[in-house]
Homo-oligomer: A and B are copies of this chain.
């Protein structure tokens, strides 16, 4: 898996068990044992999941006696939301523009065969 922060966050949440853990942490901190209880996997497996979440910055563990309460760090969500919103908005704007183009078209175009004219999708890497 790639090392960049965004990839780590997405990868961390690409697992239903980990998403469930995040969901449960959103209502309050919990220990590893508490978190592991609902699942039929070993404690070690849950510990691994928590490590993944921690390395993604989604979760932090503070030592308190021999217990290690796990805490949800909600700020990292922003990283994702920003990325998603950016391209969603861009794509939606494109739809609007496409609608405008279609609306302003002369009506001698048959609407059944949308064979794209040479529109050359803006080549070149992302800026």
Contacts of A85 in B (CB 8 A): 81
How far does the alpha carbon of A7 sit from the alpha carbon of B16 in the complex, in Å? 7
- A15→B28 contact, CB < 8 A: no
The chain B residue with its CB closest to the CB of A28 is B121
- B74→A92 contact, CB < 8 A: yes
- B94→A27 contact, CB < 8 A: yes
Known: A27-B90, A90-B26. A19 touches B74 (CB 8 A): no
Residue in contact with A77 in the complex, picked from B2, B10, B84, CB distance below 8 Å: B84
- A88→B69 contact, CB < 8 A: no
- A64→B116 contact, CB < 8 A: yes
Count residues on chain A whose CB falls below 8 Å from chain B CBs.
53
Residue A23 is within 8 A (CB to CB) of chain B in the complex = yes
- A84→B80 contact, CB < 8 A: yes
Contacts of A34 in B (CB 8 A): 121, 123
Residue in contact with A14 in the complex, picked from B10, B81, B84, CB distance below 8 Å: B10
Known: A2-B15, A14-B14. A23 touches B87 (CB 8 A): yes
The chain B residue with its CB closest to the CB of A126 is B23
Known: A7-B16, A14-B7, A83-B19. A88 touches B94 (CB 8 A): no
